[in-house]
Amino acid sequence: MHGTDDEWLAERSRVIGDRIRAERDRQHITQERLYLGAGISRDVLQRIEGGRHNPTLYTLLRIARVLDVPLADLVR
């Protein structure tokens, strides 16, 4: 294993955030539409997309629902 567990987790958070942002951009969905639809704050969405937040499973499921994609597509 390379790096520490914390480094690995931080990298995975960045990858998940990048996937959420990429899917949102691909669908031309604004941050506002996504955070309001998912029932989270703008700040939380920005931190998730930036890989600086540890979202709950429920939050990720809400985001996946608004984006109309399987959760697995965001966390694979």
- pLDDT tens profile 20-49: 999 999 999 999 999 999 999 999 999 999
What average pLDDT score do residues 36-65 get? 97
* The predicted structure's pLDDT at residue 2: 60
76 vs 60, higher pLDDT: 60
Q: What is the mean pLDDT of residues 11-17?
A: 95
What was the pLDDT predicted at 3?
73
Asked whether the whole model's pTM tops 0.95, one would answer no
Give the pLDDT score at 76.
86
The closest of 17, 16, 76 to 46, measured between CA atoms, is 17
- Average pLDDT of every residue of the chain: 95
Q: Within a 10 A sphere around the Cβ of 28, how many other Cβ atoms? A: 7
Cα 62 to the chain's mean position, in Å? 10
In whole angstroms, what separates CA 40 from the centre of its chain? 12
**CB within 8 A of 66, min separation 6: which ones?**
29, 33, 34, 37, 38
- Helix axis angle for 42-49 and 5-26, nearest 10°, is 110
